[in-house]
Amino acid sequence: MKATLLLTLGLTVGALGFSQSLYRTDFNAAKAKSAQANLDLAQGTGAGPVLQNKSSKSISSIGIGYSGNVYTSLVETQHSLTAHEGLNIIQLIHRAKVGDHAAISSGDIMSTVSYDGGATWNSKLVISNATGKGNRYPSGAIFNPTGNTVANQAYTVFAGPATDGTNWSNNFVGSMRLDSSFNSTQYKTANGSLVRHGMVANSDGKAHVIGSAYTSTAVGSGYAYNLDTLYLYTGNYNATNHNFDWTVNSFKPSFVIESDGGEAATVYEFNMAWSADGVTGYYWTLGRMTATDTRGYMPLVWKTTNSGGTWTLMPIFDFSTLSVITDELQPMKGTTQSRPYFNSTDGVVDANGNLHLVSMIRAASSNHDDSLGYSYYVANSNLVNPIFDVYTTTAGSWNALKLGDVYTIAVPAAESGFGTGSNAQGWDMRLQAGINAAGNKIFASWTDTDTSIATVGTAGLPLNLFPDLIVAAWDITNDKRFPATNYSINTNFYGDIFYHYMAPQVFTNGETYTVHISELDITSDPLNPVPHNYLSGVTMSNSDFTSNIGFNEVKNQKVVVGQNRPNPFNGSTMVDVTLNGTQNVSIEVINVAGQKVWTRNYGIRTQGTHNFQINASDLNAGMYFYTVRVGEQSVTRKMIVK
């Protein structure tokens, strides 16, 4: 029902026309994931649809439980959905809904666990609001003591901020065995930080979670924001009392101070990642360091090789020297050079101890001192928003590999239609990273909207208003890619994947990999209770990883298929197909029920761009899918008959 409503809304938009836009980072913590547009650049050339390299898989939804409202899931880098492959456990840690599973307050925190691959779920109360603390935004992990093989004798470890009704006065940290015994919670003085990012529990008996504190200073009619201090919480498992003993360490990076008095750092773009054994760990922020200023917002990374005993700032790297990145970016104003501007970054550590930062990278707009905090956020057919795996190498340097593209921009709260006034909420693409137990396959998930139905926002760019689930992966051992694939298209979840979480742990079963995903059924008001759902069927196999079709070779594809025009239409429509060699071309059209309703083989065509007509005069009004086949390659797009 909801998906139909979204589709109806999308069809009112009509043809798309959007511009390149210049974005300035907003350092206000409440708006750090959005940006303010300055529409002073030239018009673009129109957008391509969401990348779909192969047919979507079949996914289904299984109810997990409820939260009192949507705010439990606003930050994608808090590890709300986690898993443990050896015990076949999947856990969602979340705020409760009053009356659900014995919860008496929305400040209660629940651990909802599946022991059977997501088919059934069981909720347990881990923190009660009876303490008088307003517990919020929990992050969690599964810890399995050495030698344990019984699922419900593993532990849920959790953390998050707590409010006293006025201030974020405390952070809670705690654990409970999954049989409900040994429940322990501690409250730590917050010092202005909300600790919830990147939580993990490793086989060395340590759990880690990170948070930041920032300060603001009035500057003219606005504010300058400083990242201030990072707080790293470490819990050590105590086998005597079956709890975790927690310590807190703080770090104060030295950032460049910009002309407005604010630090050259993004307030919420920090995170952490660890090796499975807990020996090697990384935490990072995005910004510019005083010691070595590359004049761009890039990852600043600290590393430990002794389980967090000591940390060392890695040498500052100039990512503009990686052509695999800069080739995807437009140059700065008045120059022929491109500079990366990192945004939306998550990470994992591979079997070799190397860090993989899954990042969306925009293009810095200028080399002028007063404009270094500005970047292009582009969505058109030539310049989209690329996603990379940016990784450290065994030689101590960095490299990158492109995973996919994003074709729409973050949805501002004022344009989401989700809530009103100060309660309105927006969302971005929620980029997240995962890894298999062997540590040799890197996974990424995000959401994007099919631009054929996307709403153009006030910034003149298509909004991610009807999000689909996109998953991509890279086999680092064999250098094979699983191309960015839309898992919700052609399903009941088309345009309906809101506030999703991906567990950092990807399960392996023989030749098949299972990515664990949860999402929310949102209503019209963010304050309403929301159900969490587990998406079953987000899988891929080794045969889906290919060495001959990679994103770095996109320029060498045999075919580039444009969106049909006009769209929507009646009668007939045209499709532009560009070939890089002589190939046979055919097109088939199927309806939403999967029935083939029109097909034509156009025969052998030579290199270049060709225009093909689809005759839909015998088709009823509605949505259809057309597939262009060129040799062994196929590309599918959506079209709408009026």
Query: What CATH code is carried by the domain that includes residue 612?
Result: 2.60.40.1930
Query: For the chain, what is the domain count?
Result: 2
* 3 in any annotated domain: no
Do residues 77 and 169 both lie within one domain? yes
Last residue in a domain, options 497, 521, 556: 556
Do residues 549 and 586 both lie within one domain? no
* 386 in any annotated domain: yes
pLDDT at 383: 53
Do residues 494 and 574 both lie within one domain? no
Do residues 183 and 215 both lie within one domain? yes
Q: Which residues pair with 217 in a beta bridge?
A: 224
* 335 in any annotated domain: yes
Last residue in a domain, options 536, 556, 576: 556
Q: In what order do the strands lie in the sheet with 432-436?
A: 480-486, 468-475, 441-448, 432-436, 505-509, 512-514, 539-541
Last residue in a domain, options 556, 591, 616: 556
Among 134, 59, 131, 126, smallest CA distance to 92 is for 126
* 4 in any annotated domain: no
- Side-chain-side CA neighbours of 523 within 13 Å: the count stands at 14
User: pLDDT tens-digit profile of 63-115?
Assistant: 999 998 999 999 999 999 999 999 999 999 999 888 776 667 778 899 999 99
* 401 in any annotated domain: yes
Residues of the chain below pLDDT 50 = 1-49, 51-56, 380-382, 548-557
> Tokens 């470890």 — which residue?
157
Which three-class secondary structure state does DSSP give residue 631? coil
- Side-chain-side CA neighbours of 236 within 13 Å: the count stands at 8
* 1 in any annotated domain: no
* 251 in any annotated domain: yes
Do residues 255 and 160 both lie within one domain? yes
- Structure tokens that stand for 488 in this block: 């919700």
Do residues 540 and 586 both lie within one domain? no
Residue 177 neighbours by CB under 8 Å, 6+ apart: 152, 153, 154, 155, 183, 242
Do residues 414 and 536 both lie within one domain? yes
pLDDT at 369: 86
Do residues 446 and 407 both lie within one domain? yes
Do residues 469 and 565 both lie within one domain? no
Q: In what order do the strands lie in the sheet with 265-274?
A: 265-274, 281-287, 298-304, 312-313
CB 468 within 8 A of CB 447: yes
pLDDT at 209: 97
CA angle, residues 332, 291, 288, in degrees to nearest 5? 40
One DSSP character per residue, 450-471 reads -TTTPPB-TTSSBB--SPEEEE
pTM > 0.95: yes or no: no
Do residues 484 and 586 both lie within one domain? no
* 483 in any annotated domain: yes
- Long-range CB contacts (< 8 A, 24+ apart) of 311-317? 311/251, 311/283, 314/392, 315/396, 316/289, 316/291, 316/292, 317/397, 317/398
Among 607, 570, 566, smallest CA distance to 585 is for 607
Do residues 635 and 536 both lie within one domain? no
- Beta strands 505-509 and 432-436 are parallel
Do residues 563 and 551 both lie within one domain? no
CB 87 within 8 A of CB 154: yes
CB 501 within 8 A of CB 518: yes
What domain range is 330 assigned to?
Answer: 9-556
